[in-house]
Amino acid sequence: MNIYIQGMGCVSPQQTAGEGPFLAPVRGYEGNRLKVVDPDYKQWIADANMMRRMGRVVKMGIAAARLSMQQAGIAMPDAIITGTAYGCLADTGVFLTRMIQGAEKSLSPTPFIQSTHNTVSGQIALLLGCHAYNSTFVHKGFSFESALLDSIMILRENAAQQVLTGGVDEITDHSHAILSRFGLYKQEAISNTTLLQSSTHGTIAGEGAAFFVLGAEKGARTVARLTGLATVYKPASEQEVSGAIQDFLATHGLSAADIDLLVAGRNGNVREDAGYTRLAATLFPQTPVAAFKHLCGEYPTASAFATWLAAGMLRQQQVPAGVLYSGAAPRQLNRILIYNRYQGTHHAMALLEKA
C-alpha cells in the first residue's frame, strides 16, 4: 500500500495554521484543557453571515481542509472523508440548552441541523461546490483511522485521484464538565510542558482539526508516504498489543530496528503512560521516542494531529526539540511509526515513510 500525502493542514492548540516554521516553540498552557489557536477564518470563509452561523469546530475543519488543499495545489477533491467522535458539540449544547429554557416549545431548528456529525464534511463540500463522495465516520477512538481506511480503499480502487481526509473534534465547557466527572482529566493544575513527567492519574483535554490530501501517485508536492495502517480493539493484554505491532511491521517486511522514530500517544496519565514505557523498552529499546499530546491534548481524533506531525518531520527531516521525549534525534528520518491508544481500548498504528 502506497498512499501519498500531497498536502496537509492543521488547526491546533499550537501555532500550526499560520505562516512560519513547521512547528514553532511549544505554546504553554496551565490547567487541564487546551484550546485551539484560532486563525483568521475570513481568509477561507468570505461570507460574514455564513461564518457567524458556523460552529467553531466547523470553522476549524474548513481552515485545515483549505490549508491542505492549498499545499497540495488542488482546487477540488474527488472525495471528502472525515472522522469525528464528538461532532459539533457546541451546537448540540446550544440546542439542548434552548430546549430546556424554552420548555421544548418554539425551538429554532438551526442548532439541531448544525449539530450533526457530518456538518464539517457537508460545509466543506458546500463551500467548494463539491458534489463527489462525502462521508463521515463516527467510530470513537478509531474515527480518523476509519476515514483513512476508507480513503485508502477508494484510492486503491481508482475511484478517485485526490481524496480530502481529516479528523476533527472540539471540547466545550459542557462536554469538559461531563467528561471530568469520569475522572479523565487532571484534578490538579498542571502545565502542558510538564505533562509527560506527571505521576498522577488523568490527562488534559484537547481539540483540533487536521486534514490531508491523499493520492495514489507521487507528485512534486508530495509530503510523505503512508504505507501502513492497523487497529486493535480492546486487546486482552499488552502482549497482544506487542504481537500486533510486530506482525504489523513484519507485514511490511520490517522489524523494530527499521523504525527511525516512534511517535507515541503518551498523555500524562500515569496508568496509560506506563504501558507506552514498557512497550518502548521491550520492542524499541534503541529507537528514539517522540510525543504529541502535550501539544494538542487528549481527544478521540488526536492521531490526526500525530499524522500531521509525523509527515511534517519526514518532510523537514528534523525532530523539533519540543516533541522529542527520549533518545537522540535521528540524523535521517526514513520511517516513523505512530502508536496511539485511546482510553486503553482503541489501539492504532500508522507507518509513514519519506516520500
- Does 73 share its domain with 191? yes
Q: Residue 221 falls within a domain, yes or no?
A: no
The C-alpha atoms of residue 275 and residue 295 are separated, in whole angstroms, by: 20
Statement: residue 338 has pLDDT above 70? yes
Sign of the four-CA dihedral 185, 191, 195, 198: negative
Q: Could you report the per-residue pLDDT of 49-66, keeping only the tens digit for each?
A: 888 889 899 999 999 999
Stated length of the chain: 355
Residue 85 lies in a domain: yes
CA distances from 118 to 16, 88, 309 (A): 24, 9, 25
The total number of structural domains that make up the chain: 2
Q: Taking 70 as the threshold, does the pLDDT of residue 236 lie above it?
A: yes
Q: Which residue has the cell 482546487?
A: 75
Residue 17 per-residue DSSP state: S
Same-domain check for residues 134 and 238: no
Domain termination site, one of 215, 234, 251: 215
Would 113 be classed as within a structural domain? yes
Q: Among 215, 249, 284, where does a domain finish?
A: 215
How is residue 171 written as a grid cell? 471540547
Assess whether pLDDT exceeds 80 at residue 182.
yes
| pLDDT beyond 70 at 1 | no
Q: Quick one: 90 and 156 in the same domain?
A: yes
Confidence of residue 104 (pLDDT cuts 50, 70, 90): confident
**Residue 208 to residue 5: CA distance in whole angstroms:** 19
* Residue 200 pLDDT greater than 70, yes or no: yes
Q: Over 90: is that where the pLDDT of 114 sits?
A: no
How does residue 176 score in pLDDT terms, banded at 50, 70 and 90? very high
Confidence band for 7, pLDDT divided at 50, 70 and 90: very high
Count of beta carbons in the 10 Å neighbourhood of residue 256: 18
Which of 157, 187, 215 terminates a domain? The answer is 215
Which tens digits make up the pLDDT trace of 238-291?
Answer: 999 999 999 999 999 999 999 999 999 999 999 999 999 999 999 999 999 999
Residue 78: phi and psi, rounded to 5, are -90, -10
Cα-atom radius of gyration of the chain, to the nearest Å? 20
Residue 147: domain span:
3-215
Is the CB of residue 27 less than 8 Å from the CB of residue 37? yes
Report in angstroms the alpha-carbon separations of 17 from 6, 114, 182, 208.
17, 24, 32, 11
**Based on the domain organization, do 211 and 232 belong to the same domain?**
no
pLDDT surpasses 90 at 351: yes
Pull the grid cell for residue 224: 510523505
Q: Do residues 210 and 241 both lie within one domain?
A: no
Give yes or no for a contact between 291 and 319, defined as CB atoms under 8 angstroms apart. no
Q: Which three cell numbers stand for residue 50?
A: 455564513
Q: Which residues of 67-105 are buried (b: 16+ CB within 10 A; e: fewer)?
A: bbbebbebeebbbbbbbbbbbbbbbbbbbeeeeeeeeee
Are 38 and 170 in a shared domain?
yes
237, 302 contact by CB (below 8 A): no
Is the residue at 48 inside a domain? yes
**pLDDT for 195:** 97
Residue 270 lies in a domain: yes
Could you give the angle at the alpha carbon of 273 between the alpha carbons of 225 and 206, nearest 5°?
65
Burial tier of 244 (Cβ tally within 10 Å: 0-12, 13-18, 19+): middle
Residue 166 falls inside a structural domain: yes
299 and 159, same structural domain? Answer: no
Both 122 and 20 in a single domain? yes
Question: Grid cell 505562516 — which residue?
Answer: 19
Same domain, 210 and 64: yes
Same domain flag for 247 and 202:
no
Do the domain assignments include residue 315? Answer: yes
Q: How many angstroms separate the CA atoms of 317 and 154, rounded?
A: 30
Find all residues with CB under 8 Å of 216, minimum gap 6, and list them: 2, 3, 4, 155, 156, 158, 161
Please give the full DSSP string across 203-255, using - where no structure is assigned. Answer: B-B--EEEEEEEESS--TT--EEEEEEEEEES-SSHHHHHHHHHHHHHHTT--
Buried b (16+ CB within 10 A) or exposed e, 39-52: bebeebbeeeeeee
CATH number at residue 248: 3.40.47.10
In a domain, 220, yes or no: no
Residues 41 and 19 in one domain: yes
Residues 61 and 8 in one domain: yes
